[in-house]
A and B are shown apart, each in its own frame.
Chain A
Amino acid sequence: QKEVEQNSGPLSVPEGAIASLNCTYSDRGSQSFFWYRQYSGKSPELIMFIYSNGDKEDGRFTAQLNKASQYVSLLIRDSQPSDSATYLCAGGGGNTGKLIFGQGTTLQVKP
Chain B
Amino acid sequence: EAGVAQSPRYKIIEKRQSVAFWCNPISGHATLYWYQQILGQGPKLLIQFQNNGVVDDSQLPKDRFSAERLKGVDSTLKIQPAKLEDSAVYLCASSSRAPGPTLGTQYFGPGTRLTVL
Contacts and interface: CB of A to CB of B under 8 A. Distances in A.
Interface centre among B33, B43, B44, B107 (most CB of A within 10 A): B43
Interface stretch (A14-22, A44-52, A56-64, A68-76): A44-52
Contacts of A29: 101
Contact of B45 (A44, A49, A93, A98): A98
Interface residues of B, number: 25
A80 interface: no
Interface residues of A, number: 30
Contacts of A97: 55, 98-103
A98 B33 CA distance: 10
A51 B102 contact: yes
A107 to B, nearest CB: 15
B102 A32 contact: yes
Contacts of B101: 29, 31-32, 93-94, 97
Contacts, number: 70
Given A43-B91, A103-B40, A104-B42, A96 B56 contact: yes
Contact of B56 (A8, A32, A98): A98
B56 A93 contact: no
Interface in B70-117: 89, 91, 98-103, 105-111
Contacts of A92: 103
A43 B109 contact: yes
A25 interface: no
Contacts of B42: 4, 6, 88, 90, 101-104
21 contacts: A29-B101, A31-B101, A32-B102, A34-B105, A36-B108, A46-B105, A46-B106, A90-B42, A93-B100, A93-B101, A95-B99, A96-B99, A97-B100, A97-B103, A98-B99, A99-B33, A100-B45, A101-B42, A101-B43, A101-B44, A104-B41
| Shortest Cβ-Cβ A-B pairs, 10 listed | A101-B42, A97-B99, A32-B103, A43-B108, A93-B101, A96-B56, A97-B103, A92-B103, A96-B99, A103-B42
